[in-house]
Amino acid sequence: MTDKHDAPTSSPEGKPAAKKVEVDDDGEPSVVMVTGGSGLVGQAIKAYTDEKAAENETWIFLSSKDGDLRDRKETEAIFEKNKPTHVIHLAAKVGGLFANMAQKVEFYRENTLINDNIMECCRIHKVKKLVSMLSTCIFPDKTKYPIDETMLHDGPPHPSNEGYAYAKRLIDTMNRAYAEEYGCNFTAIIPTNIYGPHDNFSIQNGHVIPGLIHKCYLAKKNNTDFTIWGSGSPLRQFIYSLDLAELSVWVMREYHSPDPITLSVDESAEVPIKDVALAVAKAMKFEGKVVFDTEKADGQFKKTACNKKLRGFRPDYKFVSMEDGIQKSVDWFLENYETARK
């Protein structure tokens, strides 16, 4: 094992010297444990590593049936059983707008318990690398665009999800603290809007693309209009889950800094919701009428994220196009309609 990133003896701000962050490149066998392994991103990582796992890597994908990560003893038992050398931490208590507004205490406490148990168990068990997943929704409510990794703590999050947001922000704070105090190689990824196979296709509680896919499916089946809430003008960046999976594995293997990294398509790939809806209709072979219900609110016009940091490391990475990603997602939904979350 070597130390690629020697910490300075003192920082410009006069902070205590950080310990050296140990980086594993010794070629020894790795056991990579993925929390939240049954969800959208976990299943994408599974699909990617089934094809592209390194020879010395064993992958373990946890689901809620493997134990309650809110409980310290159960979390410790999971670490004792699996003995991970690397952890990708995706598990979280998540929910829609109304759940976040009504249960701020639970969203804060449960996520804080989960994250604290995972991080401390990683330290105790000398895990070589921990990658945790954050979200662009935890950024300050009032900010300038595009947002980047340095702006995470520049102001309060939107009041509607402040319980969830502050719990997630603490991951970033503690990644640096664990690096400084214990030399732990902990970091975080910040994806933009994710979509793909194994998503939650609920029309009420799902995200934009899976919700539109399900809605378009029903419109085609029932021979009704495909109605989209709002004008379709808001802009969003979408990342296909298999792209996020590939980049998350790259972060685990190659990116060694406690500072988070945004995993997003380029700013030029930001698209209006109208284009997304029309791409869904095309992929579904829907030939009926597409209607935009402008009586419904549009929400925030844009939430542009900057991927300059990622491009510094991966300038030539080619993302799956929105059209191809939506076609793959529609095909998966149709093939797995009976069992898909909806």
CA nearest neighbour of 105 among 53, 42, 166: 166
Q: Looking at residue 185, what is its pLDDT?
A: 98
CB 121 within 8 A of CB 75: yes
Active site residue 164: yes
Burial of 200 (0-12, 13-18, 19+ CB in 10 A): middle
Q: Which of 108, 164, 240, 255 is labelled catalytic?
A: 164
User: pLDDT of 257-281, one tens digit each?
Assistant: 999 999 999 999 999 999 999 999 9
In the numeric block, the tokens 């059209």 are attached to: 323
Q: Which residues contact 91 (CB under 8 A, 6 or more apart)?
A: 35, 36, 62, 69, 114, 118
The pLDDT > 70 percentage for the chain reads 92
Structural Rg of the chain based on CA atoms: 20
Model pTM score: 0.90
Nearest to 94, CA basis, from 227, 18, 199: 199
DSSP 130-152: EEEE--GGGS-SS--SSB-GGGT
Instruction: Return the closest-CA partner of residue 40 out of 92, 75, 83, 115.
Output: 92
pLDDT digits 0-9 by tens, 177-190:
999 999 999 999 99
pLDDT attached to residue 35: 98
